[in-house]
Chain A
Amino acid sequence: MVGWRSQSRDLQQDAILADRASSQDPLGSPLPKMIPGIGAFTQDTLWCFSQVKGTMETGTTEADIISTVEFNHTGELLATGDKGGRVVIFQREQESKNQVHRRGEYNVYSTFQSHEPEFDYLKSLEIEEKINKIRWLPQQNAAYFLLSTNDKTVKLWKVSERDKRPEGYNLKDEEGRLRDPATITTLRVPVLRPMDLMVEATPRRVFANAHTYHINSISVNSDYETYMSADDLRINLWNFEITNQSFNIVDIKPANMEELTEVITAAEFHPHHCNTFVYSSSKGTIRLCDMRASALCDRHTKFFEEPEDPSNRSFFSEIISSISDVKFSHSGRYIMTRDYLTVKVWDLNMENRPIETYQVHDYLRSKLCSLYENDCIFDKFECVWNGSDSVIMTGSYNNFFRMFDRNTKRDVTLEASRENSKPRAILKPRKVCVGGKRRKDEISVDSLDFSKKILHTAWHPSENIIAVAATNNLYIFQDKVN
């Protein structure tokens, strides 16, 4: 299946239009350097609105709900997947010397239908086309490659540019119709002529029929030759070139399914050691495995678990301890896990407890019963590192997202909303008031909108640019450029 979008290279035109808009909305009064709460992470990081993608209509088509966001390794491309099985790739425009105050914006580069809904006739069940994860491969030539997966099938897509086309075929005319051989009197060599840039996406590999349960993670190995896909009970290792077989490296399915008490929730390869990977579970544990130890990595090399705090025990303890995301730091020295109420940073060398724990929205602890009733307690939030591993970010409800600076121990709550969407508008920190007097600009816990959840966020690999998915809108924020 080929999808393409004609891309005009006249970015200057876009820049002029944007400039006109921003000049009518000046930045305003100069900002104080240090504001308590807004706070400098390092060198006064202030986050500004940059762009928002998606419709402004209040009625959201379910198919438009963004289900995954991922920058590529250089940050030049930003991919989103949605519930309708589509992938949209944005490309950062080249920075022009004319606009020093504005960094490159992301514009649509390619859109294609990655997965279609399917029907499993054996089980009489639908297979959703929702894109669960996208992972980029490092760029090795002019084309870009990414993996996208739904619940059952992983696909390798090649995204490439075409700016020339062959003209002067002998057997076909310019519209592609076959010519009558009797009319061909001379032979000519087709030549490549320039054309409008076309970006096309083609599925190069389809890795199917290897997962009985729902795929929750994919991870490209640092050897760039293999990758893994993880479902609720099994993890498979693939070679990019081979689609008709995969190696099963983890299998936690019990012989008697009635004894099932724990499932795999996320998995990731170590960023540098191609033999090492981790996977998290619904019981709040992380296992690190070494593929050199055995073919089936059922025995972990390391087992990370924090002892339960008896003073915090409730019927919901297990549910909120279930890890929804696990991410290695860029350095490979730490792993970060997200459970329902906290983000934790673990040192690979210490298994008995995390080295850092950050409260994302502890005010929800007394609301767990309601959140269980409306199913929000099962929401799977993701978490991300910044490029230098000094700041971590994760989402919350009411379109809030949180950042934690590991060095200064300061944190901030920001909001992705249309109200804060003026060009280069600085995001104001938000605060949730737990009880007692509510200050102006604070929002009380009971006023939070639990249907507005930020599950998916991404951080540019080297710059302070973040992408935040709020239901069907994608917000891009950048730090303020002085």
Chain B
Amino acid sequence: MFARGLKRKRAEDEEAAPAYSLQRQSLLDMSLVKLQLCHVLVEPNLCRSVLITNTDLQIQEEMTQDGRWCVPVPQTAGRASRDLLVSTEILCCCAWEGVHPAPDPGDLASEFQVVPAVQAPGGSPGGVWGRDGPRENRGSFHKSLDQIFETLESQSPGAVEELFSDVDVSYYDLDAVLTGMLGGAKLIQDGLDLVVDILVET
């Protein structure tokens, strides 16, 4: 029963994944803008900068994980790759469990001007970022390894193409998105550099 529920959710997730990734990217972009738009005259608020940078790192970490997910894991993978999956179990739970098929359009659309998210059946009214009620998430830390492998197998290899298929180019430059996906680390580093520059001067 658990497996079936997982499969259904997986289908919803596949539809929501592009929207979620886009919104995650917007969040990353927004964070970097926030870090750069420090008040020119007054010293920036260190607490705020640290919190934004930490959030960026979190996003980047998850995006890196997603990068790994896109690569199909060979079935005959040895013990090493099993260990890798186990160690990323917690992160993947947070990442995928956090995906909601129906982000509140009123909440996000006006800010992001993103392509309206697909209203999947059974979607929760909560925001994309927040976590929904307990039904999806109970016992998320206790998933068996089998369920994780099942998740991996059902991951479509063309996920990366899907990601960009319905990007609203008026808002996103494709280069920017690609840069974001692949160069997430660099953008985070730029953000950190900026904070460090300000602090080093002190």
Contacts and interface: CB of A to CB of B under 8 A. Distances in A.
Interface of A: 120, 123, 125-128, 151, 212-214, 232-233, 257-258, 260-263, 265, 282, 310-316, 318-319, 322, 365-370, 372-373, 375, 378, 435, 446
Contact of A373 (B30, B45, B51, B141): B30
A21 B106 CA distance: 47
A369 B128 contact: yes
Given A310-B137, A313-B131, A369-B127, A257 B199 contact: yes
B199 A125 contact: no
Contacts of B34: 375
A373 B196 CA distance: 23
Given A310-B141, A315-B129, A367-B107, A262 B50 contact: yes
Contact of B125 (A127, A214, A366): A366
B120 interface: no
Contact of B134 (A123, A214, A311, A368): A311
Given A126-B42, A378-B47, 11 more contacts: A212-B202, A257-B199, A282-B47, A310-B137, A313-B94, A315-B58, A318-B51, A365-B130, A369-B111, A369-B127, A372-B30
A312 to B, nearest CB: 5
B108 interface: yes
Contacts of A258: 192, 196
A123 B38 CA distance: 14
A398 to B, nearest CB: 18
Contacts, number: 111
Contacts of A262: 50
B33 to A, nearest CB: 10
B26 to A, nearest CB: 9
A326 to B, nearest CB: 14
A369 B125 contact: no
23 contacts: A120-B43, A125-B43, A126-B41, A126-B42, A213-B202, A232-B46, A233-B46, A257-B195, A257-B199, A257-B200, A265-B47, A310-B141, A311-B137, A311-B140, A314-B130, A315-B24, A315-B59, A316-B129, A319-B55, A368-B127, A368-B129, A370-B108, A373-B111
Contacts of B93: 310
A214 B46 contact: yes
In which size bucket is the chain B interface?
35 or more
B107 A125 contact: no
The 6 closest A-B pairs by CB, nearest first: A314-B129, A232-B46, A366-B127, A311-B137, A257-B199, A125-B43
Nearest to A378: B48
Interface in B26-65: 27, 30, 34, 41-43, 45-48, 50-51, 54-55, 58-59
Nearest to B28: A315
Contacts of A120: 43
A318 B55 contact: yes
Given A313-B98, A368-B127, A369-B129, A282 B55 contact: no
A310 B140 contact: yes
A314 B131 contact: yes
B201 interface: yes
Nearest to B199: A257
A118 B130 CA distance: 42
